Structure 1
């Protein structure tokens, strides 16, 4: 008896259709909640300048801090500057990524028999998007920042002097 209740094929089309408004309402609620979380994160992690000795790992918040932490730097050396930005949930994954993976895997499993799978409407895609964003926001929100607008910068004697004065000023 229990198996009959859990069998989705036994569900009538009307029963499934009657759930659509409930899913839509939940999706709207999740979307609003996620938007609030994303806005709060973006506000708390406003774009700021960051510096590095390589274009891969940005750890210094100022050129002076970079020079102080890397005392081997000299005038003429190249460093990198970029702008920190909050990573959004859409940067990590979105509904289209999931749909593409489903399509590729089903084609691998069934070949041409899976053509057109999954046939997803725009509304169904929005529901998946809201579910993904809700899950990510609750379970594993990005706790790191991205860096954009990365540029090369050549250190000058003046930059070294400013960093040295910061060290001397901080030691007093």
Structure 2
């Protein structure tokens, strides 16, 4: 097998369907899916770290508390809870620590996803690498 780096071995990940990025190089994708041929479209993107605190944070929890209290108690809960910026920061720090300890992220968000039209040159490079 040819051990020279392939031109697309640059940290991007490759996908057959644009959703499941499981190939480190185009060559890996072509090796895995032998039925791909010149003219087929595949996808390539850059993995980016997931930031779990964008899914839940102190502000969203306080808002949910407020909404549930108003739904349950009506106008009596109109101005509840009254949480200052310091308390929100405290809860954000707690959530960040808790998520880091109990919810390790083992996946990536894919960014800069583009289509790639497989060329004859791509096919030829893969065949020559197989030796």
- Paired residue for 1:135? 98
Q: Which residue matches 1:12?
A: none
**Secondary structure at 1:105 match in 2:** helix
Which consecutive residues of structure 2, in runs of 5 or more, have no partner in the other structure?
Answer: 1-9
TM value normalised by structure 2: 0.84
The answer to which structure has the higher helix fraction is 1
Change (3 A) 1:108 1:167: farther
- Match 2:53 to one of 47, 71, 90: 90
Q: Which has the higher strand share?
A: 2
Q: For residues 11 and 58 of structure 2, what CA distance do their matches in structure 1 show?
A: 30
Is the contact between residue 48 and residue 85 of structure 1 (CA under 8 Å) also seen in structure 2?
Answer: no
Q: Distance in 1 between matches of 2:41 and 2:101?
A: 41
CA distance in 2, matches of 1:149, 1:132: 29
Per the alignment, residue 4 of structure 2 pairs with none
- TM score, norm. by length of structure 1: 0.65
1:117 positional shift: 2.2
Give, in angstroms, the shift of residue 92 of structure 1.
3.5
Q: 2:69 aligns with which of 87, 94, 106?
A: 106
Match of 2:81, SS? coil
Q: Secondary structure at the match of 2:21?
A: coil
Task: Tell me the alpha carbon deviations over residues 77-103 of structure 1, each in whole angstroms, 9 at most, x when there is no partner.
Answer: 111111001212323422222122222
Asked if structure 2 preserves the Cα contact closer than 8 Å seen for 1:89 and 1:141, the reply is: no
Q: How many residues align?
A: 122
Q: Secondary structure at the match of 1:55?
A: coil
- Note the residue ranges of structure 1 that are not aligned, 5 or more in a row: 1-46
If you compute each CA radius of gyration, which structure gives the higher value, 1 or 2?
1
Q: What is the alpha-carbon root mean square deviation over aligned residues?
A: 1.6
